[in-house]
Amino acid sequence: MATNTLASPSPTSVLYWDKLKDLSNDVKLELISMLSFSLVHPKEDWTESFAGKWQDDRTTEEIIDDIHAARNTMMREVVL
């Protein structure tokens, strides 16, 4: 079987290849399938699940004021 090599693989690719090259063909095919699936169906950014979820009747300024008012700033002397 002919081998195709990359012109200059990245250090990360080489690192993974060194760990995976001795796996069976079946396992390599499973990994190819999983990697291909991850490219076709990219994972949604978890932060996007929060977009538009906040429900509040307060204005932005009122929320900011409430956050500032809730801060606990202890004014105590620290002895070292």
Read off the pTM.
Answer: 0.46
19-69: pLDDT as tens digits: 999 999 999 999 999 999 988 987 878 787 788 888 889 998 999 999 988
CB-based contacts of 49: which residues, under 8 Å, 6+ apart? none
Q: Is the pLDDT of residue 2 over 60?
A: no
Map out the domains of the chain as residue ranges: 11-40
Read off the tokens for 69. Answer: 């008012």
Q: Is 74 or 31 the better-scoring residue by pLDDT?
A: 31
Q: What average pLDDT does this structure show over 1-13?
A: 76
Instruction: For 12-31, give one letter per residue: b (16+ CB within 10 A) or e.
Output: eeeeeeeeeeeeeeeeeeee
